[in-house]
A and B are shown apart, each in its own frame.
Chain A
C-alpha cells in the first residue's frame, strides 16, 4: 500500500486548454479519496495523470516519495477500473484476471491460486471460464474489480466504475466497494460525478470545478462547512437552497431581509457580517432542505412565508417546493406536515445551520478551507 503526493500539478493540452490547475493533494496510506465534480472539471484527467495515461504538464507526482512523472503506467504499480470495465473480449474471466500476473512472469500455479482466491471474494467462481460477452453488467464490473485486486497494487484507481449500472445494482456495488476497501485496506482514488457515491464511500473528497480544486475534506466537513457556493450546492441532495439577503446592522444585531421576510442572525454569525463591513450589502444565504421546519407552530421570528408549488411524498419524508423572492427552494419535512400544493406555508429556519456567502466572490463568510 502507498502514500501519494501531488504537488502543483497542471495539465495543459497542446491546443492551450488548461484542464487542471495547481492541483495539490497528499494521500495517506489506506485512504479512500474521491474526486468529484461536474463533467469537464478535470477529475478524470487528474486520475489519468496519476495512472500515467496522460502526461503531467507541470508539477510533481510521487508514490511513496518516488517521482513518477515520467514512469510508464506499467511500472507505477497501480491498477485501474475503467468506466466501461475494459475487459479483454477475447479472453475468459480467468485470463482477464490473471493477465497482469502473466505479463510479470508469475508462475501459472500462483496465478491460478490468486485468481481463485479473488474470484471467491467477488463471487465470480462459477464465471471464471466465461467470456465477458456472456456476463451481465454487474458481473463485468466485478471482473474489472477482480482484475485490479489480483495484482495487489499499491494504489487502486477507479474511473466512474458504477456509472454504467442500473440504480439498484449501483447501490449494491457501492456497498461492495466500501466493504472491499475495509477488507483490503488499500489506497483508492475514485472518480465520480455522483455526490451520493462521494459522500458514502470517501474518507476524503476532492471537489473540483473547471480544473480547480474547490475544497478537500471529509464528507461530513464538506456537507456542514462548505467553503464556497459551488461546494455548498454540489454536495447534498436535494441541494442547498440559496437566497439573496440584504444585510441590515443595528448595533450588535444583524437582520437579513429576503423579500418581505426578515431574519435575525445569531450573535456569532452577526459578528462576521459586522466585522466584514457587510451593512447594506447583499449576501447569499444558504440553507439545507432539512433545516427548514414547519413554521406555523414556531414563533413568528425567523420564518419565511411561501406558497407550496409542489409536494412530493417519498415515503419516509416529504419534499416541498416553493418560491422565495424569485428563488426556487426545497424543504425536507416529515410526512405528517399537512402542507399541500397551493397552500400558503410558513417555514422556520434553523439559524444555527444557515450558511452565508459573499455574493461576488462566492466564498463562505463562515468557513474557510
Chain B
C-alpha cells in the first residue's frame, strides 16, 4: 500500500466514524419527536401496550387532537402563547438593537461601557437564583403578577442582555460608520439613520435573535408558571398540566398537546433557518 493509498484509507475511516457519530446524534435528537409523532395517533391502551409500535391494535386514530384541544382550551392558550411570544420577541429585538447601536457608536462614553459590561455580567446569573425575589417583589410589593404584560416585560428583560450582545457584535463588525455618515449627509436624522440604514442591515441578526428568543418564550414553563395563575391567561406549556393527573395521565392527549405546541415554532424555525446560519457566520469573513 503506497503512502497516498494509506492516507486515503485513513481519510475514509475518519469520514465513516463521523457519519456514524452524526447518525447516532441524529437518532438521539429526533427520537423523542418520533415517539410523539407515532403515539399521537394511538389511544391510551395502545400506547401503554407498545409505545414503539407504528400503529396500535385499535388502529390509527385522530381523536386525541380534539380532546386535547378541548381539555387544554387550546385556542385560548395558543392565542396567549402567540401574543406573549410575538410581543416579547419584537420588544426584545427593538430594545436591544437600539441599545447596542447607542453602545457601539458611543463607545467612548463611560456610561455605555459600564452598562454593556453589566448586561454581559447579568447573562451568567441563573434564573433560579432570581425567581424567588422576582415573584416576591413583583407579586408582594407591586402586585402585578398574573398579567400577560408582566410576563412579556419579564421575558424581554431576561433576554435583552444576550440580544444586545449579539447586535453589538453585528453592528461593530458589519456596519461601517461611513454608511451612517453618508445617511446623515443625505438628510437622515439619527433616528432615521438607525431605522432606514442600520436596522435593515441587521436582518440576519434579527432572524437569529427572533428564533432563539421565540423558541425560549414559546417553550418556557418555569417563568410563566410563576407569573400566571389565572387559567384564562395560561400559555401552552402550562396548559399541558391539565393532562397530568395525580393517579393517571392520558399519554395520548399529552402527545397531541405537545405536537400542537411544537408545530408553530418548528415552522418558524424552518422559515428562518437560512437567516440563522447567515447570522451565525456573518462577520466571520469580510466580504
Q: Which residues of A contact B (CB under 8 A)?
A: 51-53, 72-74, 78-80, 82-84, 86, 88-90, 99-100, 103-104, 133, 147, 151
Cross-chain contact A79 with B185 (CB below 8 angstroms): yes
Question: Is residue B16 contacting chain A, with contact meaning CB distance below 8 A?
Answer: no
Residues from chain A with a CB closer than 8 A to the CB of B192 are: 103
CA distance A160 to B178 in the complex (A): 13
CA distance A53 to B181 in the complex (A): 7
CB proximity of B287 to chain A, nearest CB, Å:
8
CA distance A70 to B184 in the complex (A): 14
State which residues 189-216 of B face A: CB under 8 Å.
189, 192, 197, 200-201, 203
Closest residue of B by beta carbon distance from A83: B178
Cross-chain contact B178 with A84 (CB below 8 angstroms): yes
CA distance A90 to B198 in the complex (A): 10
CA distance A88 to B186 in the complex (A): 11
Closest residue of A by beta carbon distance from B182: A86
Residues from chain B with a CB closer than 8 A to the CB of A86 are: 176, 178-179, 181-182
Residues from chain B with a CB closer than 8 A to the CB of A51 are: 181, 185
CA distance A100 to B176 in the complex (A): 19
Question: Is residue B188 contacting chain A, with contact meaning CB distance below 8 A?
Answer: yes
State which residues 142-194 of B face A: CB under 8 Å.
176, 178-179, 181-189, 192
- 12 inter-chain pairs at a CB distance below 8 angstroms, sorted by A residue, are A52-B184, A52-B185, A73-B185, A74-B187, A74-B188, A80-B181, A80-B185, A82-B181, A88-B182, A89-B201, A90-B201, A103-B188
Also in contact, A74 and B186, with CB within 8 A (given A89-B201, A90-B201, A103-B192)? yes
CA distance A89 to B192 in the complex (A): 16
CA distance A212 to B200 in the complex (A): 41
CA distance A66 to B161 in the complex (A): 46
State which residues 11-56 of B face A: CB under 8 Å.
none
Closest residue of B by beta carbon distance from A105: B187
CA distance A86 to B176 in the complex (A): 8
CB proximity of B90 to chain A, nearest CB, Å:
20
CB proximity of B278 to chain A, nearest CB, Å:
14
Cross-chain contact A100 with B201 (CB below 8 angstroms): no
CA distance A72 to B235 in the complex (A): 49
Residues from chain A with a CB closer than 8 A to the CB of B186 are: 74, 99-100, 103, 147, 151
Residues from chain A with a CB closer than 8 A to the CB of B179 are: 86, 88
CB proximity of B84 to chain A, nearest CB, Å:
31
- Report the interface size class on chain B: 10 to 19
Cross-chain contact B181 with A90 (CB below 8 angstroms): no
> Interface SS of chain B: helix, strand, loop or mixed?
helix
Q: Which residues of B contact A (CB under 8 A)?
A: 176, 178-179, 181-189, 192, 197, 200-201, 203, 287
Also in contact, A74 and B182, with CB within 8 A (given A86-B176, A88-B197)? no
Given contacts A74-B184, A82-B182, A90-B203, 6 further A-B contacts (CB under 8 A): A78-B185, A79-B185, A86-B179, A90-B200, A100-B187, A147-B186
Closest residue of A by beta carbon distance from B201: A90
CB proximity of A355 to chain B, nearest CB, Å:
40
CB proximity of A281 to chain B, nearest CB, Å:
50
CA distance A86 to B182 in the complex (A): 6
Task: Indicate the member of B182, B187, B188, B200 with the most A CB atoms within 10 Å.
Answer: B182
CA distance A147 to B287 in the complex (A): 23
CA distance A100 to B192 in the complex (A): 12
CA distance A192 to B287 in the complex (A): 25
Cross-chain contact B176 with A53 (CB below 8 angstroms): no
CA distance A328 to B181 in the complex (A): 44
Closest residue of B by beta carbon distance from A74: B187
CA distance A301 to B182 in the complex (A): 60
Closest residue of B by beta carbon distance from A80: B185
Residues from chain B with a CB closer than 8 A to the CB of A103 are: 186-188, 192
The 5 closest A-B pairs by CB, nearest first: A86-B182, A103-B187, A100-B186, A86-B178, A74-B187
CA distance A162 to B185 in the complex (A): 20
Task: Indicate the member of B181, B184, B186 with the most A CB atoms within 10 Å.
Answer: B186
Closest residue of B by beta carbon distance from A159: B178
Cross-chain contact B176 with A84 (CB below 8 angstroms): yes
CA distance A89 to B197 in the complex (A): 9
Task: Indicate the member of B176, B185, B188 with the most A CB atoms within 10 Å.
Answer: B185
Residues from chain A with a CB closer than 8 A to the CB of B203 are: 90
CA distance A86 to B184 in the complex (A): 12
CA distance A72 to B189 in the complex (A): 9
CA distance A279 to B104 in the complex (A): 62
Cross-chain contact B187 with A82 (CB below 8 angstroms): no
Closest residue of B by beta carbon distance from A89: B201
CA distance A83 to B287 in the complex (A): 17
Residues from chain B with a CB closer than 8 A to the CB of A79 are: 185
Closest residue of B by beta carbon distance from A104: B187
CA distance A290 to B184 in the complex (A): 47
CA distance A89 to B203 in the complex (A): 12
Residues from chain A with a CB closer than 8 A to the CB of B178 are: 82-84, 86
CB proximity of B196 to chain A, nearest CB, Å:
8
Cross-chain contact A74 with B185 (CB below 8 angstroms): yes
CA distance A160 to B188 in the complex (A): 23
